[in-house]
Structure 1
Amino acid sequence: MIPDDSDLIAEFGKVSRLMPGVLFDFIMGTLTPERQHEFGEILIMLGELLIKNAEDREQLGQPTTVEAADSPPPQVAGTVEPLPPVRDQQSSGTD
């Protein structure tokens, strides 16, 4: 994460909180023009922050999504070991 990520995360949070209600109102035809403008402004702010974040990451030399997908972290690329079997506590002590 870079310092501006907190603003980006906050904007993502706003969009996720508002999206269900805005979508419902849009589908039902009850979304007011004022609310539509407000939500549009939030989406524009999110877009601007996403673009700035991508530019900052490029300048820092952070991997892009494609590069990250080409070399996934070891815990993703490796196989998962099975968990040990769970003992039944009711039958293990008094049978």
Structure 2
Amino acid sequence: MREYTAQISNRGGRWRLYVVLLGVPVSQWPEHDFGPAAVVPTLAERSRVLAGLGFVFTEGAEWEWTEYSETLDDDASPVRLLASVRVCSRDGGAS
């Protein structure tokens, strides 16, 4: 079963979830825009979106959050959040 990385990030007040497909142009990655939101989409919301995109969590997968500066090496730069989780295609094949 082939595994992929799903990520959720926020830019401009909008949460966006996408599945990274190596070797595929970013414009073709499966994605969902949650629209303007002040809070992080719930685990249930993220799970529903991934299922709608054709993916499910791998066994024991958990979201891992990373914080990074928008401008590298600038501690006054706005902080961005990025979460990742391992997923696989719902039908077990390549997506």
TM normalised by structure 1 equals 0.21
More strand by share: 2
More helix by share: 1
User: Larger radius of gyration, structure 1 or 2?
Assistant: 1
